[in-house]
Amino acid sequence: MSKEPVAVVGIGQTRHVAARRDVSIAGLVREAAHRALHDAELTWSDIDAVVIGKAPDFFEGVMMPELYLADALGAVGKPMLRVHTAGSVGGSTALVAANLVAARVHGTVLTLAFEKQSESNAMWGLSLPIPFQQPLLAGAGGFFAPHVRAYMRRSGAPDSIGALVAYKDRRNALKNPYAHLHEHDITLEKVVASPMLWDPIRYSETCPSSDGACAMVLTDRAGAARAPRPPAWVLGGAMRSEPTLFAGKDFVSPQAGKDCAADVYRQAGVTDPRRDIDAAEIYVPFSWYEPMWLENLGFAAEGEGWKLTESGATALDGDLPVNMSGGVLSTNPIGASGMIRFAEAALQVRGQAGEHQVDGARRVLGHAYGGGSQFFSMWLVGSTPPDS
């Protein structure tokens, strides 16, 4: 049983902002899709299937919006799949699309993820009450803050680490024209002085709420050979899930995340992620999740992730740059955020990341998670195909 190698040959995203009042949902997704096709120098007729993802339908108030979006995405007469795996969905959607190519079901697939959060109210979209079940506590921050506290206690990390991450990511965002937040006057002091929202998470350590979409064109070996620009090759990809709440759950470093990373590394032949991976786009909606995920992903030993962050290794000019694009902390159209991580990883190994390009990035990780740290999806992309 052999799999077809999968290549990313087109990437497009919208300029992410708080509210895109100039376009409909259809207009938003078409903009990203069109840019991905343009990048690949392909047309709508070159696409065999469309795989689309977004986070809960309540965020826009449209049930199964892929039905309405079929026309805008050139899917009429084609297969169209709609993936939904909570916050990890952008990554999962790309992996489902990649599997269509890997299984040789289709040669070239358009995959896209979006969120147009200004159409509705995301906080209330997450807060619809249901009897006998725990409500989310004042948005996602309320849910995750206690787990950050648990990490700080377990690792002995000083209070200052979270602000370092936020300052780094927001500065990286200044080099990314598509990023939502461009805070030209940001300083570390301003991050530390920002209001406390969910102790220990401050306002400036929190992701924004964005409108945006991200699209990729995935293709097989033959398609990659025709690509006008260097492709990114999928060296490994995996999804893992575990229950949201149960007695044995480690919210600081969930087993599903560790297993998912281990599967990706096995597929890609990575034995030492710190050495073998050049950079990473990691899903960090709250600053402290950088050191937490560095440990979960095997870049640092347990309790040591914050030291990696503090050392500057994860800065754009460090030896393991993390969230070169500015990350989720600078741009968060929730359903698209995972795919943006995957796409930014691909941009890096293609050498197409512009001002936030890491020199010599050959193997880069894209990471997403969702639910109550319950769903994980990751891929590792490289500048050379898996066989060579």
Q: Is 356 in the site for other proteins (CB under 8 A)?
A: no
For other proteins, the closer CB: 70 or 186:
70
User: Shortest distance, CB of residue 82 to other proteins, whole angstroms?
Assistant: 5
Between CA 37 and CA 219 the distance in angstroms is 12
Query: Using CB under 8 A, which residues numbered 88 to 117 contact other proteins?
Result: 92, 95-96, 99-100, 102-105
Between CA 5 and CA 355 the distance in angstroms is 29
For other proteins, the closer CB: 183 or 263:
263
User: Shortest distance, CB of residue 210 to other proteins, whole angstroms?
Assistant: 18
For other proteins, the closer CB: 71 or 189:
71
For other proteins, the closer CB: 104 or 153:
104
Q: Is 3 in the site for other proteins (CB under 8 A)?
A: yes
Among 78, 154, 221, 362, binds other proteins (CB under 8 A): 78
Q: Is 75 in the site for other proteins (CB under 8 A)?
A: yes
For other proteins, the closer CB: 39 or 211:
211
The region, left, alpha or beta by phi > 0 then psi within -120 to 50, assigned to residue 41 is left
Contacts of 329 (CB under 8 A, 6+ apart): 165, 166, 169, 170, 173, 181, 205, 206, 207, 284, 285, 286, 287, 323
Expressed in angstroms, the distance from the first to the final Cα of the chain is 19
Q: Is 130 in the site for other proteins (CB under 8 A)?
A: yes
Beta strand 49-53 with 108-116 is: parallel
Between CA 36 and CA 69 the distance in angstroms is 17
Token pair in block for residue 42: 């392909």
Stretch that binds other proteins, among 7-15, 70-78, 170-178, 216-224 (CB under 8 A): 70-78
Give the number of residues written for the chain: 388
Measured torsion, CA atoms of residues 15, 21, 22, 27, in degrees rounded to the nearest 10: 70
Beta strand 375-382 with 232-241 is: antiparallel
Q: Is 140 in the site for other proteins (CB under 8 A)?
A: no
Token pair in block for residue 337: 């955020």
Stretch that binds other proteins, among 29-37, 129-137, 176-184, 355-363 (CB under 8 A): 129-137
Query: Using CB under 8 A, which residues numbered 242 to 271 contact other proteins?
Result: 242-244, 246, 248, 254-256, 259-260, 263
Per DSSP, what are the bridge partners of residue 219? 7, 108
Site mask for other proteins (CB under 8 A), range 14-53, x = bound: ----------xx----------------------------
Contact criterion met (CB below 8 Å) for 215 and 64: no
Q: Smallest Cα–Cα separation from 207: which of 110, 96, 283?
A: 283
User: Shortest distance, CB of residue 56 to other proteins, whole angstroms?
Assistant: 3
For other proteins, the closer CB: 128 or 193:
128
Count of positions on this chain that bind other proteins (CB under 8 A) = 70
Tokens 């190698």 found at: 5
User: Shortest distance, CB of residue 312 to other proteins, whole angstroms?
Assistant: 33
User: Contact residues for other proteins (CB under 8 A)?
Assistant: 1-3, 24-25, 55-71, 75-86, 92, 95-96, 99-100, 102-105, 119, 125-126, 128-130, 133, 238-244, 246, 248, 254-256, 259-260, 263, 371-372, 374-375, 387
